Amino acid sequence: MLIDFFYTLRSAKLPVSVKEYLTLLEALKEGVVGPMSEEGGYRIDDFYYLSRTALVKDEKHYDKFDRAFAAYFKGVEMVADFTKDIPLEWLRKNLELELSPEEKAAIEKMGWDELMETLKKRFEEQKERHEGGNKWIGTGGTSPFGANGFNPQGIRIGQEKSRNKSAVKVWDQRAYKDYDDSQELGTRNIKVALRRLRKFAREGLEEELDLPDTIRSTAANAGWLDIKMVPERHNNVKVLLLMDVGGTMDEHIQRVEELFSATKSEFKHLEFYYFHNCVYDFMWKNNRRRFSEKFPTLDIIRKYNKDYKLIFVGDATMSPYEILQPGGSVEYNNEEAGAEWLQRLTNAFPKFAWINPEPQGVWQYRQSISVIQQLMNQRMYPLTIRGLEEAMRLLSK
């Protein structure tokens, strides 16, 4: 069975050797995971960590491994307080449901509390795989739970990526990839726009050589060296950059990388953190270690003073529950709503703006974007040269 998994990894350009594959088989034979292990039973996340440990030699390949693993197993991981595993067989993709706009409008959606309570019941009642239909966890139907179907407000389980952007919670967990800060293509105009925010002040003693003036003075002085000094220039702008990563932001990776690269080159005092969809009680700096190296949001607020300009970068495309509802995060049960944390941040840093890579023409059709705009006091700007210039003009006031 696992020979196909091995070839899937190789086709994903992962340097996996036969020796490493045999090591994995030996570990399975010895019961490192499975019924013979201390935990007992088969868990897909146990096999994930075992196979990654045995087969991947360098953490730079983790993202490729995650993609190949998801493509082969369509793996799912529980991210809330439910303990029952969902058999992978229930989630195998045989068809993707396509409905007309009229058919979609006829499907009723559940409220948050009803949705979560119903999912608990399905865990208790369901015994086998289902395809189609409108009740059970499965594929290609109109049930609120499963993959490759449609529901106006459901929980996506075992699906590689978003199709309808309507899920209020996602049962998949992937390691996101850091944005590349060395991206240069297309950054020139972005740098020009960002420079509107830069303020240089001459401070300190005369300790910097003014080379052009020294050359002119020496030439005018018949070749006698006449050294000219000027005060050292300092960039006084301090920027706190918070970036959404993963999910629907995958569509905007190149443009966000260009912005990130330009920002790092333009601002000497730059601090950055990642979040997913909405800011909650913690953020992170390295996406490969986002669960082991968390930075509490309150600590970030206390660490930086009001001189910092706060810039959010994200498409603000999510379920409104993720912003307004405690426990609304797609990854864990957050105690406080995302809106509370956004308000704390904007209160702590009075000069703030939100940069949105989504085309401005679609903003009016996304309820979550409207909610974020209200929380940002309408300080949302598109990721265009004009949008950046307007945002920098606001922040420089």
Q: What is the pTM of this model?
A: 0.54
Q: State residue 324's pLDDT score.
A: 93
- The DSSP result for 225-251, as a single string, is ----EEEEEEE--EEEEEEE-SGGGGG
Rg (CA), the chain: 26
Q: What is the dihedral of CA 6, 8, 11, 14, to 10 degrees?
A: -60
Rounded (10°) angle between helices 44-55 and 18-29: 140
Give the type of residue at 136. W
Task: Enumerate the β-bridge partners of residue 202.
Answer: 233
Rounded (10°) angle between helices 338-348 and 367-375: 30
Q: What does the alpha-carbon distance between residue 136 and residue 142 come to, in Å, rounded to a whole number? A: 9
Q: What is the SS3 assignment for 116?
A: helix
Q: What are the phi and psi torsion angles at 315 (to 5°)? A: -85, -5
Q: State residue 60's pLDDT score.
A: 73
Q: What does the alpha-carbon distance between residue 148 and residue 132 come to, in Å, rounded to a whole number? A: 10
- CA end-to-end distance (rounded Å), the chain: 63
Tokens representing residue 85 in the block: 């595993």
**Do strands 352-356 and 380-382 pair parallel, antiparallel, or not at all (unpaired)?**
parallel
- Tens place of pLDDT for every residue, the chain, 397 residues? 678 888 888 888 888 888 888 888 888 888 887 666 566 566 777 888 888 888 988 777 787 888 888 877 764 333 333 334 555 554 445 444 444 565 445 545 555 556 556 666 665 665 555 555 655 565 555 666 555 555 555 555 554 555 545 444 554 555 556 665 444 435 666 777 777 676 543 444 546 778 888 888 888 888 888 888 776 555 678 999 999 998 889 889 888 988 898 888 888 889 999 999 999 999 999 887 777 889 999 999 999 999 999 999 999 999 899 999 998 888 888 999 999 999 999 999 999 999 999 999 999 989 999 999 999 999 999 998 889 989 999 998 8
Task: Count CA atoms closer than 13 A to 16's CA, side-chain side.
Answer: 28
Q: State residue 142's pLDDT score.
A: 61
Q: Count Cβ atoms within 10 A of the Cβ of residue 295 and give its class: 0-12 exposed, 13-18 middle, 19 or more buried.
A: middle
The secondary structure of the chain in percent helix, strand, coil, rounded to multiples of 5, reads: 40, 15, 45
Q: What does the alpha-carbon distance between residue 123 and residue 77 come to, in Å, rounded to a whole number? A: 14
Q: What does the alpha-carbon distance between residue 180 and residue 351 come to, in Å, rounded to a whole number? A: 26
Give the DSSP H or E segment for 368.
helix 367-375
Q: Count Cβ atoms within 10 A of the Cβ of residue 338 and give its class: 0-12 exposed, 13-18 middle, 19 or more buried.
A: buried
Q: Are 88 and 49 in contact (CB under 8 A)?
A: no
Q: What does the alpha-carbon distance between residue 172 and residue 147 come to, in Å, rounded to a whole number? A: 11
Of 270, 290, 283, residue with least CA distance to 344 = 283
Q: What is the SS3 assignment for 81?
A: coil
**Do strands 295-296 and 308-313 pair parallel, antiparallel, or not at all (unpaired)?**
unpaired
**How many other CB atoms are there within 10 angstroms of residue 93's CB atom?**
14
Q: Who contacts 348 (Cβ-Cβ below 8 Å, separation ≥6)?
A: 301, 306, 310
Q: Are 329 and 278 in contact (CB under 8 A)?
A: yes
Tokens representing residue 253 in the block: 């990776």
